[in-house]
A and B are shown apart, each in its own frame.
Chain A
Amino acid sequence: QKEVEQNSGPLSVPEGAIASLNCTYSDRGSQSFFWYRQYSGKSPELIMFIYSNGDKEDGRFTAQLNKASQYVSLLIRDSQPSDSATYLCAVLLTGTASKLTFGTGTRLQVTL
């Protein structure tokens, strides 16, 4: 089992819809979770981080964490064509002071 798993997509949503991106992780003790966005040919950039169970909202983005079920999700409201990118889930695994492990990413396409 991979430590951090994501569906590779592509996930296609129409402009203005809600995009839902999901990520599961294997280490039950993980405490820190991150969502990065990566445009084609560019480096990843942080969108959100979440440490506690529940929802965290920032503008059009909402991160959701459920530690009991070991999943973290990212919702993008009012999706725009500029949101088309690959979204990477990253988890800081327990027992490793600094090791940040990434999923393979989900490619999102927002269609006009």
Chain B
Amino acid sequence: DVKVTQSSRYLVKRTGEKVFLECVQDMDHENMFWYRQDPGLGLRLIYFSYDVKMKEKGDIPEGYSVSREKKERFSLILESASTNQTSMYLCASTLVSGAEAFFGQGTRLTVV
């Protein structure tokens, strides 16, 4: 079975902190994604990556950056956390474009 693992289930950070969310997949998938999920807004794509060191902006990239130095790991970085970044963050991966997306367990981030 494909496993997508996010480093934390719950995080509480202070406004202005630099925050790192880590995601690791174990099935050699090409594509990796970061979404945030908010009530009434669904899943919104922040960034995705289709190869090592490659990244593409999603629909809401402002205030975020990403890093993919190894194929299995995709990191989401909040450069200076703000309260409006309080959300559920979901990492996903797909073997190839158009294939099934497998999700991590999610990280509920609270910025105070």
Residues of A within 8 A of B (CB): 8, 31-32, 34, 36, 42-46, 49, 88, 90, 92, 96-105
| Size bin of chain B's contact surface | 20 to 34
Closest A-B pairs by Cβ, 5 of them: A104-B42, A43-B103, A102-B43, A32-B98, A98-B31
B40 cross-chain contacts in A, Cβ below 8 A = 8, 104
Smallest CB separation, A102 vs chain B (Å): 4
Contact of B43 with A97 in the complex, beta carbons under 8 Å: no
Smallest CB separation, A7 vs chain B (Å): 12
Contact of B98 with A88 in the complex, beta carbons under 8 Å: no
A104 cross-chain contacts in B, Cβ below 8 A = 40-42
B35 cross-chain contacts in A, Cβ below 8 A = 102
Contact of B43 with A34 in the complex, beta carbons under 8 Å: no
Which of B33, B41, B104, B106 lies in contact with A100, CB distance below 8 A? B33
How many Å lie between the Cα of A96 and that of B43 in the bound state? 17
- Given A103-B42, A104-B40, A105-B42: A43 in contact with B106 (beta carbons within 8 A): yes
Chain A CB count within 10 A is highest, among B44, B45, B92, for: B45
A-contact bits for B99-112, CB 8 A (1 contact / 0 none): 01101111000000
Known A-B contacts: A34-B100, A43-B105, A44-B101. Give 11 more (CB < 8 A).
Answer: A42-B105, A43-B104, A44-B103, A46-B100, A99-B56, A100-B33, A101-B45, A102-B42, A103-B42, A104-B40, A105-B42
